[in-house]
């Protein structure tokens, strides 16, 4: 078989594989060293087989909420050990839902396509060493879906399941001072682009304006843009700047509070996609700054 015939066979095999995978699989021509003519077609699947199977199974939100209500009322090791099997079941169920979310997000943000639920979820056991609250377990399930990992400074997407306090969030919830200063400088240098991202009608209606919302361990406002803001002008920035509200922000996180039954039914992924898409331009603006440090 000639080299040309071999390349055609590779290409045909690639398209046959495409039929068996999600439509969002990515195809890319990868040049091969010391070769001439068209490069072989390399198939890069943006979503794992696990993601594909997760889409076929729905997360059982009711069981998850029932367990979380139980641990909130009985946050002690004895109760937890007696309900360990239930915990294992709802944890697996939550991870199933996170895989669904990753698959959904990957349709418009390819950077997260390599992630699995285990890359995004947290330990259920609390670190109580420096906390006055010595409760050993969390009262929620959360997943931070970020291309660079759940511990990265880079902004990402966050889902939070807690009875009465469920939410969907987008952005960076904390940044060190040097990066925060760079973000403020970038906003000043490109204020028109920033305002287009955060003052457009869709964003403003969904998330509100800076420092309007509140998000604590026990209470979440219906919407919010920024967890906290300085009371004064940040050091080194002009006091008479027209858009000081953006420079005073201590984080760039936006969120929407959702009902407990949000993560179930036929269209919850579509609603989640709309929230995340609306917040993504703001997040991308900040991530472009963070990327210079990571």
Q: What is the mean pLDDT of each run of 10 residues along the chain (294 residues)?
A: 47 38 30 34 36 59 97 98 98 96 97 96 93 94 95 95 96 94 98 98 96 80 93 95 96 96 92 98 97 82
Q: Which residue has the tokens 């509100």?
A: 208
Q: What is the per-residue burial (b if ≥16 Cβ within 10 Å, else e) of 256-283?
A: bbbebebbeeeebbeebbebbebbbbbb
Phi, psi of 38 (to 5 degrees): -60, 135
Q: Which pLDDT value is given to residue 294? A: 67
Q: Which pLDDT value is given to residue 27? A: 25
What burial class does residue 16 get, using C-beta atoms within 10 Å of its C-beta: 0-12 exposed, 13-18 middle, 19+ buried? exposed
Dihedral over Cα of 133, 135, 141, 145: its sign:
positive
């Amino acid at each position: 078989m000639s080299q040309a015939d071999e390349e055609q066979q590779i290409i045909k095999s690639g398209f046959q594989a495409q039929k068996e995978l999600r439509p969002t699989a990515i195809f890319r021509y990868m040049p091969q060293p010391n070769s001439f003519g068209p490069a072989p077609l390399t198939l890069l699947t943006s979503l794992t087989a696990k993601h594909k199977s997760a889409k076929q199974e729905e997360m059982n939100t009711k069981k998850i909420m029932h367990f979380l209500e139980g641990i909130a009322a009985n946050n002690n090791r004895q109760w937890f050990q007696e309900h360990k099997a239930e915990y294992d079941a709802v944890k697996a169920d939550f991870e199933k839902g996170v895989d669904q979310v990753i698959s959904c997000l990957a349709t418009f943000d390819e950077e997260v396509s390599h992630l699995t639920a285990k890359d995004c979820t947290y330990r259920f056991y609390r670190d109580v060493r420096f906390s006055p609250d010595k409760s050993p377990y969390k009262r929620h399930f959360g997943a931070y879906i970020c291309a660079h990992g759940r511990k990265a400074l880079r902004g990402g997407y966050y889902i939070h399941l807690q009875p009465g306090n469920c939410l969907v969030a987008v952005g960076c919830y904390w940044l060190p001072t040097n990066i925060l200063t760079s973000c403020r400088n970038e906003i000043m240098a490109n204020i028109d682009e920033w305002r287009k991202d955060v003052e457009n009608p869709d964003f403003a209606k969904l998330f509100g304006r800076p420092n309007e919302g509140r998000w604590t361990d026990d209470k979440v406002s219906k919407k919010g843009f920024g967890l906290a803001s300085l009371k004064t002008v940040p050091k080194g920035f002009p006091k008479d700047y027209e858009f000081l509200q953006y420079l005073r922000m201590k984080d760039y996180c936006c969120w929407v509070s959702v009902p407990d039954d949000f993560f179930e039914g036929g269209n919850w992924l579509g609603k989640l996609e709309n929230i995340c898409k609306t917040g993504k331009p703001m997040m991308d603006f900040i991530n472009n700054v963070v990327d210079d440090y990571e």
